[in-house]
A = this chain, B = another copy of it.
């Protein structure tokens, strides 16, 4: 099995899906000859031609909207937003259209589009190349939001997203692209959308998180293991709609829950996770639910010291787990 970076895993999933199904095509800014500004589509233009790897004009509402039209027709478009921050002009198409098409037509039409976007901070991107955007969409029935935490997950979940019969927002952490590497099978495999996964089993504290923060949580857990603190890590994987059952089980198991996100604290998807826990696990909790998140300021300043101060990292998670364990 080859060791792939996160971005290579994304690239491989795209290549295999383009090979597997001729209804699959890619559209976005600079996805063609350039291979994408992060090289997610590297080599695909050469292999599949400009008809299936389409450079679009600089217009996100059209990228989403044209993709939605093609998806209703019966194609399987994979639209790229160059940065998640630039999905904003396409929100009307995504929320009013993609998410509503099946319901509003009483199941007559559907919209199997995948919209990929690199989110997250840590690459000196300043206010507009750093944001977490999932909370904006995490209240829209009809939409699914997938945020893989590793190369293996990225490949399997992206394939599922492309094959899904409904619209999927697929958010990849841009700092994970080169930071994370692991063995990824060459063969075809898919992972289930809508299911969280236990990334680590533990007894003392449960960490519930997603995306790049899973990596940091693992680092923290390994360190704490040496101190005798045992950490359970639940990776949400799909942040909308949430896997309620898995959340309830993971929270109940240890009774001490740390929720982690890179997003701003107020209004992040952790609120919903906390609500599920408070509805279902009151009597299993041994400590108040704790949230570790970004401060409520626009994410994130360009200047390195400020960016660092904004971000969640392994140290901050370690500290929070320890506090809960000692509670």
Give A contacts to B, CB under 8 Å.
61, 85, 88-89, 91-92, 95-96, 99-100, 103-104, 127-128, 135-142, 240-242, 263-264, 266-275, 277-280, 282, 285, 287-291, 296-298
Partner of A139 from the list B267, B278, B279, B297 (CB cut-off 8 Å) is B267
Closest residue of chain B to A269 (Cβ to Cβ) is B267
With a cutoff of 8 Å between Cβ atoms, the chain B residues found around residue A264 in the complex are: 139, 141
Query: A222: shortest Cβ distance to chain B, in Å?
Result: 27
Query: Which one, B61, B89, B128, B289, contacts A278 given CB within 8 A?
Result: B289
- Given B91, B272, B280, which contacts A91 in the complex, CB threshold below 8 Å? B91
Tell whether, in the assembled complex, residue A139 and residue B263 are in contact, meaning their CB atoms are under 8 Å apart.
yes
- Given A275-B275, A279-B290: A296 touches B241 (CB 8 Å cut-off): yes
Q: Could you tell me the dominant secondary structure of chain A's interface residues?
A: helix
Please pick, from B96, B128, B275, the residue contacting A96 in the complex, using a CB distance under 8 A: B128
| Chain B: minimal CB distance from A171 (Å) | 14
Least CB distance, A282 to chain B, in whole angstroms:
4
A85 in contact with B91 given A141-B298, A270-B275 (CB within 8 Å): no
How many Å from the CB of A202 to the closest CB on chain B? 21
Q: How far is the CA of A271 from the CA of B134 in the complex (A)?
A: 15
Which residue on chain B has the smallest CB distance to residue A85? B96
How many copies are assembled? 2
A91-B91, A100-B127, A136-B136 known; 11 new pairs, CB 8 Å cut-off, are A88-B92, A91-B136, A95-B136, A139-B267, A139-B268, A241-B266, A266-B272, A267-B269, A275-B275, A278-B288, A282-B289
Kindly list chain B residues whose C-beta atoms are within 8 Å of the C-beta of A263. 139
Residue of B nearest to A139 (CB): B267
Complex: A134 Cα to B284 Cα, angstroms = 32
Task: State whether A103 touches B297 (Cβ < 8 A).
Answer: yes
Separation in Å of the A295 CB from the closest CB of chain B?
Answer: 8
CA distance A104 to B303 in the complex (A): 12
Bound-state CA distance A285–B273 (Å) is 18
Find out whether the CB atom of B104 lies under 8 angstroms from the CB atom of A298. yes
Interface contact A267-B272, CB-CB below 8 Å:
yes
A145 → B minimal CB distance (Å)? 10
CB-CB < 8 A to A272: which residues of B? 266-267, 271
Q: Please determine whether A282 and B279 come into contact, CB atoms closer than 8 angstroms.
A: no
Assuming the A-B contacts A91-B88, A264-B139, are A289 and B298 also in contact, with contact meaning beta carbons closer than 8 angstroms in the complex?
no
With A96-B128, A139-B267 as contacts: A280 and B275 at CB distance below 8 Å:
no
Shortest beta-carbon distance from A48 to chain B in Å = 31
* Nearest chain B residue, comparing its CB with the CB of A267: B139
Provide the bound-state CA to CA distance between A263 and B138, in Å. 12
> Could you say which residues of chain B place their CB within 8 Å of the CB of A273?
271
Contact B296 A266 (CB under 8 A): no
Q: Are A278 and B274 in contact (CB under 8 A)?
A: yes
CA distance A104 to B301 in the complex (A): 8
- 29 A–B contacts, CB within 8 A, in A order: A85-B96, A96-B128, A99-B298, A100-B127, A100-B298, A103-B127, A104-B127, A104-B298, A135-B138, A136-B137, A136-B139, A139-B263, A139-B267, A140-B267, A141-B264, A141-B297, A241-B266, A269-B271, A270-B275, A271-B272, A274-B278, A277-B278, A278-B278, A278-B288, A278-B289, A279-B288, A279-B289, A279-B290, A282-B288
